[in-house]
Amino acid sequence: MNVVLLSAVAFLLGSIPTGMLVAKIKGVNLRSAGSGNIGATNVLRTTGKGAAVLTLVGDIAKGSLAVLMAKYFNTGIFYQGIIGIFAVLGHDFSLFLKFRGGKGVATSIGVLCIYSPQTGLITIIIWLMTVLITRYSSLGALVSFGILPLSAFFLDSREKFPLFFLLAVMIFFRHKDNIVRLIKGAEPMIGGGS
């Protein structure tokens, strides 16, 4: 199947707003609740743990399915990563939300879990450790994806490195407001607090 067509399918898959759908079932409009973000962290704050887990699993699955689809159609290593990135772009700029969306962390992790399991595991561990220590989900994303290109450089093929670097840049771009709030000490913690 054509790489362009697969990329379009991946973008459409990524565009499915898992958090919005899960929250809507619970009677919550995520766009007007909490931070207004559609990701699992805001679902946790506004809708509860069960809904947050469903959102996390759904968002991870979007990235994983995109890469699995690319593997199935034998697109080659480089294009598997490109197609995975289109799933993340779909999440970040959803067709169903007028090209607005989430931060792309869970969908990026889903991409990594299939595209490069070892770096995916390292990224998850660093994210979890940072969040457990600081209680800032955004800081966990920034630290883990900031380290991603370095860990990938040593753990995976050099052919994939530009795609890992691009994923990291996308995460930082989507967290630019969080970075400002972290610097000012105004970023909300998981479980309350400032």
Domain ranges of the chain: 3-184
Residues, the chain? 194
**Confidence grade of residue 165 (pLDDT, cut at 50, 70, 90):** very high
Which pLDDT score, from 0 to 100, does residue 153 have?
86
Which residue type sits at 190?
Answer: I
Give the global pTM: 0.92
Rounded mean pLDDT, 62-80: 95
Asked if residue 194 has pLDDT above 50, the reply is no
Average pLDDT value for the chain: 92
Which pLDDT score, from 0 to 100, does residue 15 have?
97
Per-residue pLDDT tens for 118-148? 999 999 999 999 999 999 999 999 999 999 9
**Confidence grade of residue 72 (pLDDT, cut at 50, 70, 90):** very high
Q: Which residues contact 148 (CB under 8 A, 6 or more apart)?
A: 112, 119, 123, 164, 167, 168
Asked if residue 45 has pLDDT above 60, the reply is yes
Between CA 122 and CA 129, with CA 126 as vertex, the angle to 5 degrees is 140
Which pLDDT score, from 0 to 100, does residue 176 have?
95
Which pLDDT score, from 0 to 100, does residue 6 have?
97
